[in-house]
């Protein structure tokens, strides 16, 4: 797999570690804007807080994955529409000052309105990247024939659910009448990069990746969008990063992917409408050098901070490859018109590389630092 061209960067890029992914089939992947709009205090998740970016705002993406056999699965569901029905332990968190939730539609509604009969059993399974409220949606909007996949340790930690267990963060209705399957990475010797992996369909088209730290049972997904074994010029992948990071500044830049000499499209419009120099953002970098992320993961939110950091470092290795498009669950920069993202139901992500989506989206998060740059200049 090829690394990003270092000639475009402020610093010479270190070659990305080789990641060997076995040959396999391609699979259809569509990204769904779940209509979830979330706000949380940024300082609860990462530091140091940049001026003007005290509140972290973002969507919550879901992925529709369609196998050649006709099976359809969903990776994450965003936030449930009637979030006021969360268990008390969750409501006590999300109703604090500076926490905000808005949801227009459930993922089941979005699918149904666009020709996927979710209510009629068209979805074979739901995969929760983890059990947090902004990922689990409302499984009860799908029939009992739709299985629920969870990460290691989820059932032991949170079942029985609320109201049977008043302290649980999950609802009994999330599980009622459906088969719950827990991903078992220990009995599987496969690794993709440094991640223990499960070949979900058995043909190399989609992998679950064990990515602990942020939460009990946190998992990522890796989908092959084009396959050289099927005649494509190369294998390309979507890496579904879930909450491995909550903002692009938590995992970019890196020594494999330094700040670029010129950032285009420009995330800082003042005097730089089409593109802007990378050193503008280096000036507000906490370490003053564009080869490490702007933010660090804070203690408190992650279940295991050390594991969360390690998992994020592993994702950075994938992010440095030109045939992998890393998408974290709450990346608001993907909503910008300049990126030209292809959303469900209009198109799949098969042509993401041909359309240069990863490159257009990669540095979009830098727009959140515009006030910090202005204050630095003054």
The 10s digit of each residue's pLDDT in 58-91 is 999 999 999 999 999 999 999 999 999 999 999 9
Cα(351)–Cα(204) distance, integer angstroms: 19
Q: What is the 3-state secondary structure (H, E, C) of 221-266?
A: EEEEEECHHHCCCCCEEEEEEECCCCCHHHCCCCCCCCCECEECCC
β-bridge partners, 209: 197, 220
Residues 6+ apart with CB under 8 A from 28: 64, 65, 66, 67, 348, 350
Cα(71)–Cα(121) distance, integer angstroms: 11
The string of pLDDT tens digits covering residues 139-191 is 999 999 999 999 999 999 999 999 999 999 999 999 999 999 999 999 888 99
Maximum CA extent, the chain: 61
Full-model pTM: 0.96
Cβ atoms of 268 and 373 closer than 8 Å: yes
Mean pLDDT of the chain: 94
Q: What is the 3-state secondary structure (H, E, C) of the chain?
A: CCECCHHHECCCCCCCCCCCCCCCCCCEEEEEECCEEEEEEHHHCEECCCCCCCEEEECCEEEEEECCCCCEEEECCCCCCCHHHCCHHHHHHHCCCCCEEEECCCHHHHHHHCCCCCCCCCCCEEECCCCCHHHHCCHHHCCCCCEEEECCCHHHHHCCCECCCCCCCCEHHHHCCCCEEECCCCCCCCEECCEEEEECCCCCCEEEEECCCCCCCCEEEEEEEECHHHCCCCCEEEEEEECCCCCHHHCCCCCCCCCECEECCCCCCCCCCCCEECHHHHCCCCCCCCCCCCCEECCCCCCCHHHHHHHHHHHHHHHCECCEEEEECCCHHHHCHHHCCCECCCCCCCCCCCCCHHHHHHCHHHHHHHHHHHHHHC
Predicted confidence at residue 4, as pLDDT, reads: 57
By the 10 Å C-beta count (0-12 exposed, 13-18 middle, 19+ buried), 231 is classed as exposed
Residue 271 — pLDDT band, cuts 50, 70, 90? low
The string of pLDDT tens digits covering residues 293-322 is 999 999 988 899 999 999 999 999 999 999
Predicted confidence at residue 265, as pLDDT, reads: 82
241 token code pair: 């990063």
Least confident of 7-11, 36-40, 219-223, 356-360: 7-11
Return the half-sphere exposure (C-beta side, CA atoms, 13 A cut-off) of residue 289: 8
Domains of the chain, first to last: 24-249+326-377 (3.60.15.10)
Predicted confidence at residue 267, as pLDDT, reads: 86
Residues 6+ apart with CB under 8 A from 140: 173, 174, 176
Cβ atoms of 28 and 347 closer than 8 Å: no
Residue 31 — pLDDT band, cuts 50, 70, 90? very high
By the 10 Å C-beta count (0-12 exposed, 13-18 middle, 19+ buried), 202 is classed as exposed
């Amino acid at each position: 797999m090829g690394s990003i061209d270092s000639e475009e960067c402020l610093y010479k890029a270190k070659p990305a570690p080789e990641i060997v992914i076995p040959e396999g089939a391609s699979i259809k992947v569509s990204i769904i804007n779940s209509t979830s709009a979330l706000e949380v205090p940024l300082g609860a998740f990462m530091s140091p807080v940049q001026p003007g970016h005290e509140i972290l705002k973002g969507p919550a993406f879901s992925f529709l994955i369609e196998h050649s056999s006709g099976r359809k699965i969903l990776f994450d569901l965003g936030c449930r529409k009637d979030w006021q029905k969360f268990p008390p332990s969750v409501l006590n968190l999300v109703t604090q000052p500076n926490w905000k939730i808005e949801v227009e539609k459930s993922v089941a509604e979005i699918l149904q309105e666009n020709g996927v009969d979710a209510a009629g059993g068209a979805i074979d399974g739901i995969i929760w990247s983890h059990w947090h409220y902004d990922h689990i949606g409302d499984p009860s909007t799908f029939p009992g024939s739709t299985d629920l996949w969870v990460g290691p340790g989820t059932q032991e930690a949170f079942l029985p659910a609320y109201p049977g267990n008043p302290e649980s963060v999950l609802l009994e209705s999330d599980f009622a009448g459906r088969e719950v399957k827990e991903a078992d990475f220990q009995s599987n010797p496969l690794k993709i990069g440094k991640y223990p992996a499960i070949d979900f369909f058995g043909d190399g088209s989609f992998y679950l990746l064990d990515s602990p730290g942020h939460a009990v049972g946190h998992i990522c997904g890796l989908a092959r969008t084009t396959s050289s074994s099927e005649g494509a010029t190369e294998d390309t992948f979507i890496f579904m990063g879930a909450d491995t990071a909550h903002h692009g500044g938590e995992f970019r830049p890196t020594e494999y992917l330094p700040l670029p000499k010129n950032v285009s499209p420009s995330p800082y419009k003042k005097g730089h409408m089409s593109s802007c120099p990378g050193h503008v953002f280096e000036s507000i970098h906490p370490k003053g050098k564009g080869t490490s992320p702007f933010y660090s993961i804070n203690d408190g939110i992650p279940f295991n901070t050390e594991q969360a950091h390690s998992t994020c470092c592993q994702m950075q290795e994938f992010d440095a490859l030109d045939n992998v498009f890393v998408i974290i669950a709450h990346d608001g920069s993907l909503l910008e018109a300049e990126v030209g993202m292809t959303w469900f139901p209009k198109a799949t992500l098969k042509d993401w590389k041909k359309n240069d989506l990863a490159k257009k989206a990669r540095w979009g998060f830098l727009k959140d630092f515009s006030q910090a740059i202005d204050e630095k200049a003054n």
